[in-house]
């Protein structure tokens, strides 16, 4: 996807007409993106940085983490923290590191994820537990730590939880992933009600079929059948997920909380 700068605005626009960044929109804000070393998380981080935020990427993959930080502009703009989101103490350390580096946290994206697909006949307990641990426990850890810090800071905040269309419709071969992604929706709404009085907003997104390494690895017949179900007639781009995160992270969405936004080109509506 080609990015161009719309004349006289400084706004970055893709060749599908998408706006991926709004310069200055997040000036003075600090964001944490888990699973930010690649894929959708890295696209989200780029959009936040290009809109003026400072970003802390958290990931288990140290090598890609460092490359991602350099790609985003390095020290002063972005930093990386090795962190397994399933581990509450590691997530607490991540929040401390972000506060030390940039003086607080305004935006937190619970994005880290894995898949361990198999039908229920073949899925092992380990495959079930691993997916629940990263997505559901990881999001809960992020919510626990981020809301505690944002309450203490007393300057509001925005948290975005990455669910999936799989959590809405259920995908065969993904009983673990669909359960975790549906659970993230319930968790988002419960905690949104708990912290709204502190002007902390919590919203979920449900991406559909997005052009990433994960979807590129699918067999062509599976790709074709999914594409046939998309009213917009094409897969989504990572930047088109990132721009929704940018909206939810910013003051452009000062009133929505507890919402679930589908980013699916109309698939499964
Ligand atoms: N790609 C899609 O089409 C799609 C669709 C719907 C939802 N999603 C969701 O979007 C999120 C990002 O997906 P992606 O396609 O970019 O995946 P990806 O595999 O490209 O990136 C995921 C990142 O998370 C990191 N990670 C994995 N386990 C971790 C852990 N325990 N702690 C910290 N980091 C960890 C990985 O190292 C990796 O950098 C996931 O939650 C995924 O379920 C993706």
Mean pLDDT of the region 38-63: 98
Q: Whose CA is nearest to atom 36 of ligand 1?
A: 35
Which is the catalytic residue, given 102, 140, 177, 247? 177
Ligand 1 atom having least distance to the Cα of 181: 43
Q: Is residue 135 part of a domain?
A: yes
Q: How far apart are CA 85 and CA 141, in angstroms?
A: 7
Q: Which tens digits make up the pLDDT trace of 143-162?
A: 999 999 999 999 999 999 99
Residue ranges making up the domain that contains 138: 11-262
User: Is pTM beyond 0.85 here?
Assistant: yes
- Lowest mean pLDDT of 71-75, 93-97, 197-201, 255-259, name the range: 71-75
Q: Which tens digits make up the pLDDT trace of 26-45?
A: 999 999 999 999 999 999 99
Q: What is the pLDDT of residue 129?
A: 98
Q: How far apart are CA 97 and CA 160, in angstroms?
A: 20
80 touches ligand 1 (CB under 6 Å): no
Q: Whose CA is nearest to atom 30 of ligand 1?
A: 84
Q: Is residue 37 part of a domain?
A: yes
175 touches ligand 1 (CB under 6 Å): no
Q: Is residue 3 part of a domain?
A: no
Q: What is the pLDDT of residue 242?
A: 98
167 touches ligand 1 (CB under 6 Å): no
Pairing of strands 200-207, 107-110: unpaired
CATH code for the domain in which residue 114 is found: 3.40.50.720
The rounded Å distance from CA 246 to ligand 1 centre is: 18
Mean pLDDT of the region 108-134: 98
125 exposure class (CB count in 10 Å sphere: 0-12, 13-18, 19+): exposed
The rounded Å distance from CA 241 to ligand 1 centre is: 13
Q: What is the pLDDT of residue 255?
A: 98
Pairing of strands 3-5, 12-14: antiparallel
Q: Which tens digits make up the pLDDT trace of 72-95?
A: 999 899 999 999 999 999 999 999
Closest CA to 132 of 114, 110, 109: 114
With bands split at pLDDT 50, 70 and 90, how would you rate the model's confidence at 171? very high
Are the C-beta atoms of 55 and 72 separated by less than 8 Å? yes
| Strand partners for 260 | 204
Domains held by the chain: number: 1
Pairing of strands 157-162, 107-110: parallel
40 touches ligand 1 (CB under 6 Å): yes
Q: Is residue 267 part of a domain?
A: no
113 touches ligand 1 (CB under 6 Å): yes
Q: Is residue 5 part of a domain?
A: no
Q: Is residue 6 part of a domain?
A: no
**Does the annotation mark 177 as catalytic?**
yes
Q: Is residue 49 part of a domain?
A: yes
Q: Is residue 42 part of a domain?
A: yes
134 touches ligand 1 (CB under 6 Å): yes
């Amino acid at each position: 996807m080609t990015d161009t700068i719309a004349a006289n605005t400084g706004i970055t626009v893709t060749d599908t007409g998408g706006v991926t960044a709004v310069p200055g929109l997040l000036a003075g804000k600090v964001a944490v993106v888990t699973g930010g070393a690649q894929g959708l998380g890295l696209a989200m981080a780029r959009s936040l940085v290009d809109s003026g935020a400072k970003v802390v990427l958290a990931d288990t993959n140290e090598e890609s983490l460092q490359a991602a930080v350099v790609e985003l502009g390095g020290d002063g703009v972005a930093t990386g923290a090795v962190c397994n989101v399933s581990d509450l103490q590691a997530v607490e350390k991540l929040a401390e590191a972000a506060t030390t580096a940039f003086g607080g946290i305004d935006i937190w994206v619970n994005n880290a994820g894995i898949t361990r697909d198999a039908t229920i006949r073949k899925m092992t307990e380990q495959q079930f537990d691993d997916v629940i641990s990263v997505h559901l426990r990881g999001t809960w850890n992020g919510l626990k730590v981020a809301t505690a810090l944002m309450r203490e800071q007393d300057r509001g905040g925005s948290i975005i939880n990455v669910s999936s269309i799989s959590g809405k419709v259920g995908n065969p071969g993904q009983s673990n992933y669909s359960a975790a992604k549906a659970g993230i929706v319930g968790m988002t709404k419960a905690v949104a009600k708990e912290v709204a009085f502190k002007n902390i907003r919590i919203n979920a997104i449900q991406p559909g079929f997005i052009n990433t390494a994960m979807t590129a690895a699918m067999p062509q017949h599976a790709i074709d059948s999914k594409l046939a179900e998309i009213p917009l007639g094409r897969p989504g781009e990572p930047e088109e997920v990132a721009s929704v995160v940018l909206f939810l992270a910013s003051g452009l969405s000062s009133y929505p909380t507890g919402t679930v936004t589908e980013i699916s080109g109309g698939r499964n509506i």
